[in-house]
Amino acid sequence: MRRAWPPLALLAALVGLWELIVRAAHVPGYLFPTPSAVASSLADDSGLLGRATLVTVREIVLGYLFAVAVALLIAILLHFSAALRRALLPILVLSQTVPTVLLAPILAILLGYGIEPKLVVVAVVCFFPIVVNAVDGLRSADPELVRMMRTLHGGRLAIFRRVELPGALPAIFSGARIAATYAAVGAVFGEWAGSSAGLGFVILQAQPALETARIFAAVLILSALALCLYALVTLAERLLVPWQPEAHHA
Amino acid sequence: MLGGKRVLDGVDLHVPATGRVGIVGRSGAGKSTLLSLVAGLDEPDAGEISIGGETLPAGRLARCALMPQRDCLLPWRSALDNAALALENAGLPRGEARRRAAPLFARLGLAGSEQLRPAKLSGGMRQRIAFLRTLLADKPVLLLDEPFGALDAITRAELQEWLADALAAEPRTVLLVTHDVEEALLLCERVLVLAAGRVVAELDVDVARNAPRRGVVTSPAFLELRERALEAIG
Ligand SMILES: Nc1ncnc2c1ncn2[C@@H]1O[C@H](COP(=O)(O)OP(=O)(O)O)[C@@H](O)[C@H]1O
Ligand SMILES: [Mg+2]
């Protein structure tokens, strides 16, 4: 917790400065709201923002879990098949050059305007860092441990279960933590491509109405959601990788 | 050949089924390489290795248990689960594997450390657990690469005695690599001295072993063998 103080203090100072500058320069609220205006929007629009948050949280969590499951499955397939790895890994890397912003409208056309296209967008942006880190982690098992297993009745499956998979968990969690910071943005892209609810939709509606403070409030909630997901993944790592004395995270 | 280098050359060795052969030599002499060849983890560029008529690597792997020079404990397993690893690999349920491994902890002075992860154990404890894990694999051939190197002199002497008793009760083929000439002479019937990949001396150890250890290691016959081994090592 002690590490949290310096950034919090800096953040508080910046927010104070922001309030002062916007007030001193008499910037109109619809151009750039003060932090206090954002705070009152959070309070006044709490019903609207709360409902939107629930929608977006559902998209983030389900899309993220979907991404984790598919990424691990594919990583394991790639790990066991060198041929598949050679064929599929370059395509996966190439697929990352397709901007998600462009993917979202296509998915909306394909999958309609329900929750499905949003889940897929979230999953698509989260998938890549997990799969790449997982494949690397599985492949970087200590060869001496593998040799030891081979002389102790260890077959291919035993080596995977008892050496490669546990050894890859820290790498898998690195990927999962990076992905956690992408999930909220993915949900917003998904909502922008066509939706009638969620924080992305709130932002879209507030823009022509010049409800700038509400946009800021929605963005603030989205950041908080990303932070929560990151914290949850870090907690899961502490529980599932207890042999790592202090994991290499920020 | 490893990395274009000839590591072993013209090693010719025959070990009877219940024989115990010690291999001593300076570091880099090729001792660990010899063990991984015998284990079937690597194949020689020339020549043949046969264990009970089995010459294919897979057949050798099935017969040998290797205790590597590095303890190679799995950081995510408790001490007990590390010791029981080979049993689980062989298909035993975890509970049963633990039940078989647990009684040996007290015998090796490891009582109380069952639930600790390797990071919390001393080098000597880790080595004993790696040793247990190798024994529990229950293979006819044991390949031990400096098994007691990380132990203090007293614990080492205790474990040497324990190993000698265990092997007397349940004979197996043992290749024991060690940098400790005395240990090789105490535990093995034959000791090879390896230098730069060649066998430079072969000693038959025919000293009485049933006498107390102190008597054995100070006997003239023992001292003479030790002298010859040390001289061959160079
Ligand atoms: N993978 C490898 N590639 C190249 N050289 C190796 C490799 N492994 C071992 N060697 C070399 O082989 C020689 C014998 O090594 P090793 O069998 O570990 O010796 P010892 O166990 O007697 O200390 C050393 O000179 C070492 O540098
Ligand atoms: Mg060695």
Question: What mean pLDDT is predicted for residues A133-155?
Answer: 96
Nearest-angstrom CA–CA distance, A55 and A198: 5
What is the pLDDT at residue B2?
A: 57
What is the pLDDT at residue A226?
A: 96
pLDDT of A105 strictly over 60: yes
pLDDT of A220 strictly over 70: yes
Indicate the average pLDDT of chain A.
92
Report residues whose beta carbon is within 6 angstroms of any ligand 1 atom: B 2-3, 5, 7, 25, 27-33
What is the pLDDT at residue B211?
A: 65
Residues B28-61 have pLDDT tens digits of 889 999 999 999 999 888 888 888 888 899 999 9
Closest CA to B193 of B161, B226, B157, B229: B229
What is the pLDDT at residue A140?
A: 95
Indicate the average pLDDT of chain B.
88
What is the pLDDT at residue B124?
A: 87
Which of A150, A153, A162 is facing B74, going by the closest CB pair? A162
Which of A142, A147, A152 is facing B89, going by the closest CB pair? A152
Q: At A136, list the tokens.
A: 């690397």
What is the pLDDT at residue B46?
A: 85
pLDDT of A63 strictly over 80: yes
What is the pLDDT at residue B210?
A: 65
Q: Which of the listed residues B9, B23, B24, B32 should we mutate to test ligand 1's pocket, taking the one with most ligand atoms within 8 A of CB?
A: B32
What is the pLDDT at residue A217?
A: 95
Question: What mean pLDDT is predicted for residues A40-48?
Answer: 92
Query: Which of A147-156, A166-175, B84-93, B179-188 shows the lowest mean pLDDT across its residues?
Result: B179-188
Work out the percent of chain A whose per-residue pLDDT is above 70. 97
Q: How confident is the model at residue A65 (pLDDT cuts 50, 70, 90)?
A: very high
Task: Supply the CATH classification number for the domain A33-248.
Answer: 1.10.3720.10
In sequence order, which residues have a C-beta less than 8 Å from that of residue A124 and are 6 or more positions away? A67, A100, A103, A186
Q: Does A170 touch chain B (CB under 8 A)?
A: no
What is the pLDDT at residue B1?
A: 47
Indicate which of A150, A153, A169 best probes the interface with B, i.e. most B CBs within 10 Å of its own CB.
A153
Q: Does A238 touch chain B (CB under 8 A)?
A: no
Q: Rounded to the nearest whole angstrom, what is the distance from the C-alpha of residue B155 to the centroid of ligand 1?
A: 29
Which residue(s) pair with B145 in the sheet?
B177
pLDDT of A170 strictly over 80: yes
What is the pLDDT at residue B3?
A: 54
Which of B65, B74, B134 is facing A163, going by the closest CB pair? B74
CA A247 to chain centre: 19
Q: Does A153 touch chain B (CB under 8 A)?
A: yes
What is the pLDDT at residue B149?
A: 85
In chain B, which stretches have pLDDT less than 70?
Answer: 1-6, 208-211
CB–CB of A191/A198 below 8 Å?
yes
What is the pLDDT at residue B5?
A: 63
Which residue(s) pair with B199 in the sheet?
B194
Question: What mean pLDDT is predicted for residues A137-159?
Answer: 96
The minimum CA-CA distance between B11 and chain A, rounded to whole Å, is 22
Pick the atom of ligand 1 nearest to B36's CA: 17
A125 against B166, higher pLDDT: A125
Give SS3 for A58.
helix
Q: ipTM of the assembly?
A: 0.89
Residues A78-99 have pLDDT tens digits of 999 999 999 998 998 888 888 8
Rg (CA), chain B: 18
Residue type at position B44: P
All domains in chain B, ordered by first residue? 20-72+141-233 (3.40.50.300)
What is the pLDDT at residue B232?
A: 83
What is the pLDDT at residue A100?
A: 77
Nearest-angstrom CA–CA distance, B110 and B124: 10
Question: What does pTM read for this prediction?
Answer: 0.88
Q: How confident is the model at residue A12 (pLDDT cuts 50, 70, 90)?
A: very high
pLDDT of A48 strictly over 90: yes
How is chain A split into domains, by residue range? 33-248
